[in-house]
Amino acid sequence: MSRTRIKKIGIITAGGDCPGLNAVIRAVVKSAIREGIEVLGIMDGFLGTVEGSARPLTGQNVSNILVLGGTILGSSNKDNPFGMFQKEVSGKFRVVDKSAHSLRHFKEWGLDALVVLGGDGSMTISSLFAKKGVRIVGVPKTIDNDLVGTEQTFGHDTAVHVAAEAIDRLHTTADSHHRAMVVEVMGRTAGWLALRAGLAGGGDVILIPEIGYDEKKVAEAVRKRHGLGKKSSIIIVAEGAHPRKGKIVVDRVVENSPEKIRLGGVGKQLADNLEKLTGIETRSVVLGHVVRGGTPTSFDRILATRFGVKAMEMVLQGKFGQMAALVKGEMSSVPLSKIGGKVRTVPLNHELVLAAKKIGVSFGV
């Protein structure tokens, strides 16, 4: 495709927020301006496409946003144009397809292409729009690092850094009171965040969704440390981790959301059971959304910038219906059709799992 045919593009930050979104926006806008291309920032994720909410982005708009967490465009992880939840008079919700509203606004805005920053849900939606003729380029975003097709997503490194720093602080208070501390982190059904944060923070036990754990084995690891004169034990548990013969702990069910099941509570449950099994005072801490916020690490700023530049290159080259990806350390691209609805989990023979085992970390098995 000739570069002269691309005159105006839109950009969306969809799904849950994470550090690095603004860095991608900045890279896309700066790259576009150099090519004489206008950029329209669509507000609040895909909701903005339905409501027609957008604003022009210029060099001035993106000045100094490299270090900012969150997104200047706003986001939403509940609004899928192909399945919007509409509340009836009765109080019940029904699902309505409002993708036609989005398509109409794309046309009214005069967009030649759309850049979507998001995770698996956002890439699924992008793929559906691509099938309707929308020229879309995806950019992989999630702190969970569970998106297939790319070695790493931006936002993940910052989440690991924040979680590890929190674990560092918990070591000292745990030592002071001779306690075991259970630290619950996000990650949904993939253990990348728990695994990396646990290794970086010196966790003694790391429990991930990919390896069903035995509470008695976890208790055994804690008692063993206590018997060796260790003052404390730190257990890192992913929100999607579960006992070998048990189920994932669900915090709540949100009916008017594409992602109805909200995980959470495994940390408290595990802490209560460990205290009974070991006789050692055990407390639980949920890091939750803390790891989603704040300034992105230098690694994420660079990765996000690379993704933004790559996305703009793909637009200029006409590589639509694809997502920018990091493959073997280099920028590449993968079809959107191969991404949505899938989860990139931790292989049981992954180098990090093997390294953790070799230094004595227990996985509760």
Asked if residue 203 lies in contact with residue 195, where contact means CB atoms within 8 angstroms, the answer is no
- Whether 97 is catalytic is no
Type of residue at 117: L
In this structure, how many other beta carbons lie within 10 angstroms of the beta carbon of residue 329?
8
Q: Pick the catalytic residue: 144, 146, 157, 204?
A: 144
φ, ψ (nearest 5 deg) of residue 213: -105, 160
Strands, sheet with 113-118, edge to edge from the N-terminal-most edge strand: 54-57, 38-42, 8-13, 113-118, 136-140, 322-327, 330-335
Please count the CA atoms within 13 angstroms of the CA of 330 that sit on its side-chain side.
2
Nearest to 14 by CA among 78, 102, 103: 78
Would you mind telling me the total number of residues written for the chain in this entry? 365
Q: How many Cβ atoms sit within 10 Å of the Cβ of residue 1?
A: 14
Contact 145, 344 (CB under 8 A): yes
Q: Which amino acid is at 242?
A: H
Q: How far apart are CA 196 and CA 187, in angstroms?
A: 11
- Residues 237 and 229: beta-carbon distance below 8 Å: no
Q: How far is the C-alpha of 363 from the C-alpha of 356, rounded, in Å?
A: 9
Catalytic residues: 144
